[in-house]
Amino acid sequence: MADDLKTLPTDHVSHEEPMGRATFTAFTNATPEDWQKIVAANSVFAKSHVDRIVTHLNLLKGDCGGFPIDRLEHSLQTATRAFKAGMDEEYVVCALIHDIGDSLGVFNHPDIAAAILKPFVSEKNLWMVQNHGIFQGYYFWDHIGLDKNARDQFHGHPAFEYTAQFCHLYDQPAFDSAYESMPLDAFIPMMHRVMDRPKQSMYLKKSGESVMNGE
């Protein structure tokens, strides 16, 4: 385990409570005023969402897991390759985040990235991120005792080729220690444009306003 994975930094935690704190002891005795305080604090907290994702991406730095390059460099390289190929920002952000779950979701890492991206991306991009692990298996699972053709179970799915292309063009070749990736900072404005406001979320009102964004 990389040293910086042993302790989680806490400077990404927002303590801003513009209206102070609620005083209830259980949800059943909370007042509308209590909830206004919580919504106010959360709308500040939501503004640093991208910062927290960047913090977690940085946790992948120095963590190689036997691969030729660390997991952050692999993420940057995948995103850089997609960006340079002219893919749109939503796709590039998916490429950047696709392995963010490597540390928390050892047995299902694509699900972590998919859960983070779900409010912000198209169904096709979400499916691609969620299933990239099985599609990436096409390139190596025969070496580790698994079925490299496991992706075939998805033949006929509208995002099959799309996901196969992601792995072929951007994910599987992104282990080149000589490749010059763009720095993480270059992707942060893209992350803000893609992730600052959800397209779908249980916290969207019927009118489309986002409670978590203070709307």
Q: Are 90 and 120 in contact (CB under 8 A)?
A: yes
Q: Smallest gap, in angstroms, from Cβ of residue 49 to Fe ion?
A: 22
Closest distance of CB 98 from Fe ion, Å = 6
Nearest to Fe ion of 170, 212 (CB atom):
170
Q: Is 46 helix (H, G, I), strand (E, B) or coil?
A: helix
Closest distance to Fe ion from the beta carbon of 44 (Å): 32
User: What is each CA distance from 40 to 32, 35, 94, 119, 197, in whole angstroms?
Assistant: 12, 8, 29, 21, 16
Shortest approach of Fe ion to residue 65 CB, angstroms?
A: 11
Sign of CA dihedral 138, 139, 141, 147: positive
Q: Which is nearest to 166 in space by CA: 153, 151, 176?
A: 151
* Tokens matching residue 142: 């025969």
Nearer to Fe ion, 73 or 171 (CB): 171
CB of 71 to Fe ion, least distance (A): 8
Which uninterrupted H or E stretch holds 172? none
> Cβ closer to Fe ion: 90 or 171?
171
- HSE of 211, CA atoms in CB hemisphere, 13 A: 11
Our CB check for Fe ion shows the closer of 110 and 119 to be 110
CB closer to Fe ion, 46 vs 134:
134
CB-wise, 41 or 167, nearer to Fe ion? 167
Minimum CB distance to Fe ion, residue 45 (Å): 28
Which residues would be at the binding site for Fe ion (CB under 5 A)?
Answer: 99, 171
The b/e string for 119-154 (b: 16+ C-beta within 10 A; e otherwise) is bbbeeebbbbbbbbbbbbbbeebeeeeeeeeebeeb
